[in-house]
Structures are given as structure tokens and as C-alpha cells.
């Protein structure tokens, strides 16, 4: 050990005699310059060491100012004297900073370990040690020596520099994760837009294909009729020729009358006139026959063009369908579009369970499966009914919000058992299962979601989303959507909650996730109340309407509902007004479908479809003369809903939900059940919800 120290001392003396800087006296004391610059600079005094400049492969380009002109990223530029450029030309500089800091720390650590060994050896020497000797000028100050303050400053500099590099690396990873998420969102938006264009084009071609089929059918009918007319003309022409032959034969026979009997009598004149008339008729028939043949040829040519165009359209539709299938197979799975963990926090937290008495539901729990679908049934997360713990994120995502004591829905209070997201008194409740709801959309985006809801889903999946209701509130210039999507999916809440207050509360929460306007979530509440009353078995339509009208007049009396209705130029209580119209329509003996659409509507707005669905249910309680008697009440409800036109799928879904709650499974034909997608899973879910409903007080 001492032999190595003596060798290093002799090496420093040789360097000093040659006038070279003793660069190895303290590791890391050299200043690094660009590899293609003017060369390494001289060693600075130890007490004034600047932080080493990052090594860059580009000639003399400051690290913060990249040659691409893009500058440093905002996240990375917060580190002192550091920057980062995402371009490939500048990317090799990024790992070199951490590597340089690590190498300098390692070198400093090695020197300190060696110094400790030397000092321990000195401490072990005593007066009786055999290797103690007199030295030449042992009190000299060797070249490259430093004071205690300089030594401490250098050590602190190494440490602070390494910590700064680590902090910059963490910020860089966060910036990269954000960039990746934004890129994935943009790619996903482009994919959705492309698939929407594909679907739109397919619908246009299907419409044109249907029109061409209709024209082909009409053309074939016209050809058939024209061919029949030609046959009739030919038959008439043959009969006229027979009549002409008869006249010619009679005239020729009369020329053989003898002597004075060969007289131009009336019979002769009549036969002559008949011949002239027959010849004119035959000429006209021939002309008509020629015209009919020309028309037939034109129709046949038109039919050939139609059939060729049909074949072309069918081929185009097939190719587009194959393209969509190929794109669907090549699409990345939903799990790759968002980071599953925070890039800084990697710890896990315990997940709430039955042992957490303040957080676990006081009644039998159920997942929000009617909102989240199969994804929530397969994995954890979500929240339970009656619980004070509300966390729509899966367990691994709870740490992404940090440990500062605040969550996306207000302040958090420590749970007695240490579980995350224990709801503080008075804090805001999140929407049920919102991220999983959005994930279900990502799994199958071709289900016909509205454009506004797709935008909400994308914002819900963004790492920046901290309030799950904000994306819906931002729709339509901050006014929110009043579509009927929230009402269409709300029926399951009426199956899980037996009290009117709970039905209203959770129907509102469910709808506000995507429809922030009161005209949207009030429609969802009305639909949920209708299903709730149907489950109670209300016997008469009058009492059914009275119950709904009482609840809606109270709901629509708040200032927000009145303001939203006035802003659209509607009456103050649009749903209550339409419920009264339903009562008036039911009292009439005969109401046409046009009158129903005119009074109640059949559009995509909630106030134009939810009352219509309720009317369809109440009207079809009694037989309809226009619908065959072989169909039961539930089937009549669906058939009548579809016959109104407009947004038929949503209106029929809502009317069918009310009718299904009222009549039960007995009126759903077996063939209809087997034709439904996911029938078995839905049946199991319905049984679970029914058991929960029966246990509710």
C-alpha cells in the first residue's frame, strides 16, 4: 500500500519537473471539453472547480442549444445547466451525463477507500513497529495538496452533481413518459379517425349499393312488363294479319261474280275500308313494336351497367372490410397505450378489503359492471356500493397521484388501516369506474360511440386527468352534452338500488361522467326512475306517469336545470312538460306515429328520446291493431319503438329496459335471448344484481 503511494508521489514529481499538470492528483478535477474542440483545458484550482461540462459528439455545441434548433425540453431544462433534445443527433449526450457522474463518484470513492486504508495503517503503527524509519523532509507539502475546506467542497460537489443528474434523469423520464403518452393519444386519435372514415365510407357504399339494388329490381320489373307488352303487341299483330287475310280472301272471291253481278256494292266498299283500316293498324302496331324493342334494348343495357356497378361496389366494400379487419388485427392492445406505473414511484399499497371497516361497504358489494363491462369483472379496481373508499384506478395506478395527501377528487384522510383514497367527509365522489369505462371503449372502439363521448374517453385516459368530470364539462364550449347516451346505459342502477334517492344519486353520477348538461343527466335520472317504477310493478299508466311527474318536477326546479333549458329556448321543465304530453296522447283513441314524433321527438337528445321510450312502453301495454296479436307486450314495445324511426336503437333500448323490468324474462323469446351478444354473461350479471336488489332494505 505504501509502495503504491510512493510510486504515485514519484510520478507527480516527474510531471512537475516536466511542467505537466498533475491531473491525477485528485480524480475528477479535470474539466471535460468537446471531443472535437480545442482540446483538454488545464486543471483548475481545486477550490474553484466548475461543474464538468457534458461531453457532446457535436463540435463545440453547448448542450442546452442543440443543432436541431429545438432547444431543451421543459422538464429536463429545470436541472441546472442541463438540457435535453429529443432528436437522434443529440440523444447520445443524455446517457453520458449519468455515466460521467457515476465514473467520477466511483473514482472519488476508490480514492477515499485507499485513503482510509493508508490512515488505518498509520493508526496501527507504534513505537515498536519494525518498519518505522526517518524520512527526508517529511513535513513538506506535496504538490496537489488541498485544504480541508477544498476537500469537503470537492466531495460535496461530486455528491450534489450526482444528485442533480439523478433528478434531471427522473424529470427526463417523466418527460419521455408524457411524450410517449401524448404520441400514443395522437396515434390513437388518428386510428379512430381513420376507422371512422372507413366506417363512414362503408355506410355510404352500403347506401349506394342498396340504391343500386333497388334500381336493379325496378329495372328488372320494367323489363318484365315491357316483354309482356311486346308479347301482347305481337299477338295483336298476328290477329290483325289474320283479319287482313280474311278481307283479302273475301275481296278476291267477290271478283269472280258473273256479268252484271260484279257490282261495287256496299259490301265491296265495306271490305275495302276494312282492308285500309287493318293496314293502318298493322303499321301502327309495327311501329309500337319497334319502339318497345328499342326500349327493351335500352333497359337491358342499363341493367348491364347497374350489375357491373353493383359488382364494383361489392368488391370495394369487401376490400374496405378486409382493410378494417387487417387494421383491427394490427392495432396494439389497450394496455400499451398508457403507462401502468409512475416513472418515479414504484412502491405498492395495500388494497382495501373486508378488514377495513370504515372503507368496506356496509351492504353486499357489487362492481359497477353495467358501466365497465367485462374488464372490471376480470380484474380488481373499481369501487363498491355504500363504500367510503372511492378509487376508480387499478391498484398499481394509485401511486401515480403521489403521496402529498391530495387526490383527484379532493383531500384524502388517512384510512385507519392504511388504505389509499379514504374519502374525507364532504369531499367529492368520483364517477363510477370512469377509467375502466374508457378502457372498455379502447378495447372495441367500433361500437358506434358518439364523437363527443370518444373525446371524453381520451381525456379520461390521459395521465393529466385529475377530475373525471372535467372532460364532460368541457364539451360544447363548457355547456356539456345533453345526448341520450347516459340514459341508455343507466338501467342497471335501478337493479342495484331499491330507494328512489339512491337511484337518482347514482344515475346522476353515471350520466355526468359523459353528459354534463342537466338536460342530459336529468334524462338519465328519468329513465332510471322509469325502470325503478317498472320493477315495483306499477299497475296503471296513470299512476306510473304521476309518480314520474312528481319526481321530475322536483328535479327540474333547481337553478341549473332552469338555466340550461332557457339557454336552449325551451320551457323551464322540458321533461315534466313531455310527461304531461304523454298523458294527453294516451287519452286519445287514435294517435299516428307522425303525431308522436311531432310531440315527443325521436332524436339523439335525451329530452327527444327518453319520454318517447316511456310512451312506447305505456302505449304497448294494450294490444295495437297495427301489430300482429302473436307478439306479446314486450315485443310490441320494441316493434313500435323501431317503427317511430329516428334514433331507433337508443329509443328501443330504453323502452325495452322499462318493459323488461315490468314484464320480466318470461316475455323475452328464447330465440331473441340466444341471438343477443354476451347473453350468458349478461344473464349471470342480472342474477347477481337481482340478488343484491332483493337484499337491499
Looking from the CA of 685 toward its CB, the CA atoms found within 13 Å total 19
C-alpha to C-alpha distance for 348 and 360, rounded to whole angstroms = 20
> Roughly how many angstroms between the first and final C-alpha of the chain, as a whole number?
84
How far is the C-alpha of 595 from the C-alpha of 425, rounded, in Å? 50
3-state secondary structure of 605: strand
Could you tell me where the DSSP H helices lie in 255-331? 266-330
Q: Are strands 410-411 and 406-407 parallel, antiparallel or unpaired?
A: antiparallel
Please choose, from the candidates 594, 588, 558, the residue with its C-alpha nearest in 3D space to the C-alpha of residue 573: 558
Q: Is 592 annotated as a binding residue?
A: no
Contact status, residue 616 vs residue 644, Cβ threshold 8 Å = yes
* Cell numbers given for 224: 318484365
The C-alpha atoms of residue 173 and residue 342 are separated, in whole angstroms, by 10
Interior/surface letters 221-250, b for 16+ CB within 10 angstroms, e for the rest: eebeebeeebeebeeebeebeebbeebeee
Q: Are 438 and 397 in contact (CB under 8 A)?
A: no
How far is residue 348's CA from residue 333's CA, in Å, rounded to a whole number? 24
Q: What would the grid cell of residue 99 be?
A: 455515466
Instruction: Tell whether 647 is in a known binding site.
Output: yes
The set of cell numbers assigned to 161 is: 452533481
649 is in an annotated binding site: yes
**Secondary structure element (H or E) that encloses residue 406, with its range:** strand 406-407
- Which position has the grid cell 444528485? 163
Q: Which of 642, 542, 555 is nearest to 607 (CA)?
A: 555
Rounded to whole angstroms, the Cα distance separating 68 from 72 reads 10
In this structure, the number of other CB atoms found within 10 A of the CB of residue 490 comes to 30
| Segment (H or E) for 139 | none
Torsion region of 293: left, alpha or beta (phi above 0 gives left; psi -120 to 50 gives alpha): alpha
* Nine-digit cell string for 183: 404520441
Collapsed DSSP state (helix, strand, coil) of residue 445 = coil
* Spatial contact of 511 and 521, defined as CB atoms under 8 Å apart: yes
Looking up cell 321533461 gives 575
Report the candidate in 401, 469, 404, 464 with the shortest Cα–Cα distance to residue 434: 469
Q: What is the rounded distance in angstroms from the CA atom of residue 353 to the CA atom of residue 359?
A: 8
Binding-site residue positions: 647, 649-650
Binding-site residue positions for Mg(2+): 647, 649-650
Amino acid at each position: 500500500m505504501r509502495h503504491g503511494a510512493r510510486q504515485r508521489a514519484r510520478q507527480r514529481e516527474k510531471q512537475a519537473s516536466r511542467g505537466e499538470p498533475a491531473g491525477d492528483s485528485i480524480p475528477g478535477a479535470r474539466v471535460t471539453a468537446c471531443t472535437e474542440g480545442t482540446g483538454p483545458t488545464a486543471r483548475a484550482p481545486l477550490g474553484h472547480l466548475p461543474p464538468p461540462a457534458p461531453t457532446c459528439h457535436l463540435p463545440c455545441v453547448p448542450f442546452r442549444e442543440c443543432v436541431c434548433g429545438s432547444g431543451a425540453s421543459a422538464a429536463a431544462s429545470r436541472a441546472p445547466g442541463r438540457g435535453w433534445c429529443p432528436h437522434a443527433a443529440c440523444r447520445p449526450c443524455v446517457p453520458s451525463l449519468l455515466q460521467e457522474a457515476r465514473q467520477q463518484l466511483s473514482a472519488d470513492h476508490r480514492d477515499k477507500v485507499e485513503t482510509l486504508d493508508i490512515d488505518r495503517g498509520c493508526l496501527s503503527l507504534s513505537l515498536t513497529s519494525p518498519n518505522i524509519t526517518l524520512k527526508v523532509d517529511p513535513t513538506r507539502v506535496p504538490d496537489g495538496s488541498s485544504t480541508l475546506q477544498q476537500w469537503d467542497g470537492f466531495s460535496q460537489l461530486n455528491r450534489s452533481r450526482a444528485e442533480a443528474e439523478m433528478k434531471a434523469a427522473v424529470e427526463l423520464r417523466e418527460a419521455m413518459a408524457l411524450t410517449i403518452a401524448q404520441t400514443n393519444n395522437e396515434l390513437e386519435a388518428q386510428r379512430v379517425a381513420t376507422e371512422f372514415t372507413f366506417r363512414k365510407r362503408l355506410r355510404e357504399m352500403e347506401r349506394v349499393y342498396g340504391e343500386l339494388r333497388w334500381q336493379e329490381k325496378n329495372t328488372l320489373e320494367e323489363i318484365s312488363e315491357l316483354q309482356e307488352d311486346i308479347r301482347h303487341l305481337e299477338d295483336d299483330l298476328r290477329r290483325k294479319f289474320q283479319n287482313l287475310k280474311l278481307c283479302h280472301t273475301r275481296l278476291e272471291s267477290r271478283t269472280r261474280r258473273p256479268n252484271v253481278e260484279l257490282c261495287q256494292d256496299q259490301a265491296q266498299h265495306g271490305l275495302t275500308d276494312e282492308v285500309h283500316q287493318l293496314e293502318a293498324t298493322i303499321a301502327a302496331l309495327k311501329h309500337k313494336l319497334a319502339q318497345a324493342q328499342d326500349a327493351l334494348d335500352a333497359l337491358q343495357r342499363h341493367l348491364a351497367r347497374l350489375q357491373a356497378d353493383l359488382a364494383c361496389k361489392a368488391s370495394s366494400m369487401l376490400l374496405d372490410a378486409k382493410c378494417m379487419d387487417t387494421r383491427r388485427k394490427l392495432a396494439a392492445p389497450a394496455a400499451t397505450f398508457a403507462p401502468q406505473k409512475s416513472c418515479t414511484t414504484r412502491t405498492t399499497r395495500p388494497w382495501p378489503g373486508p378488514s377495513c371497516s370504515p372503507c368496506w361497504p356496509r351492504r353486499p358489494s357489487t362492481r359497477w359492471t353495467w358501466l365497465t363491462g367485462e374488464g372490471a369483472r376480470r380484474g380488481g379496481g373499481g369501487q363498491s356500493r355504500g363504500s367510503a373508499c372511492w378509487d376508480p384506478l387499478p391498484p398499481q395506478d394509485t401511486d401515480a397521484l403521489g403521496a402529498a395527501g391530495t387526490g383527484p377528487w379532493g383531500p384524502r384522510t388517512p384510512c385507519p388501516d392504511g388504505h389509499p383514497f379514504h374519502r374525507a367527509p364532504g369531499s367529492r365522489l368520483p364517477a363510477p369506474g370512469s377509467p375502466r369505462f374508457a378502457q372498455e371503449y379502447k378495447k372495441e372502439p367500433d361500437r358506434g360511440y358518439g364523437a363527443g363521448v370518444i373525446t371524453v374517453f381520451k381525456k379520461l385516459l390521459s395521465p393529466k386527468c385529475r377530475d373525471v368530470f372535467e372532460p364532460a364539462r368541457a364539451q360544447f364550449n363548457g355547456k356539456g352534452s345533453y345526448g341520450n347516451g347516459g340514459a341508455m346505459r343507466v338501467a342497471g342502477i335501478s337493479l342495484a338500488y331499491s330507494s328512489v334517492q339512491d337511484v337518482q344519486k347514482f344515475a346522476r353520477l353515471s350520466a355526468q361522467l359523459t353528459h354534463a348538461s342537466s338536460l342530459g343527466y336529468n334524462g338519465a335520472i328519468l329513465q332510471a326512475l322509469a325502470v325503478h317504477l317498472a320493477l315495483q310493478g306499477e299497475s296503471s299508466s296513470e299512476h306510473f306517469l304521476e309518480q314520474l311527474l312528481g319526481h321530475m318536477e322536483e328535479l327540474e326546479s333547481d337553478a341549473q336545470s332552469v338555466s340550461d333549458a332557457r339557454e336552449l329556448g325551451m320551457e323551464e321543465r322540458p321533461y315534466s312538460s313531455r310527461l304531461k304530453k304523454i298523458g294527453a296522447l294516451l287519452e286519445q283513441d287514435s294517435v299516428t306515429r307522425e303525431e308522436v314524433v311531432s310531440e315527443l321527438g325521436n332524436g339523439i337528445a335525451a329530452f327527444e328520446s327518453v319520454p318517447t321510450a316511456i310512451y312506447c312502453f305505456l302505449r304497448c301495454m294494450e294490444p295495437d291493431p297495427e301489430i300482429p296479436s302473436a307478439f306479446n307486450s314486450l315485443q310490441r314495445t320494441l316493434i313500435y319503438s323501431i317503427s317511430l324511426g329516428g334514433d331507433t336503437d337508443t329509443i328501443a333500448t330504453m323502452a325495452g329496459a322499462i318493459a323488461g323490468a315490468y314484464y320480466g324474462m318470461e316475455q323475452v323469446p328464447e330465440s331473441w335471448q340466444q341471438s343477443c351478444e354476451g347473453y350468458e354473461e349478461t344473464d349471470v350479471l342480472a342474477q347477481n344484481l337481482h340478488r343484491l336488489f332483493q337484499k337491499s332494505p
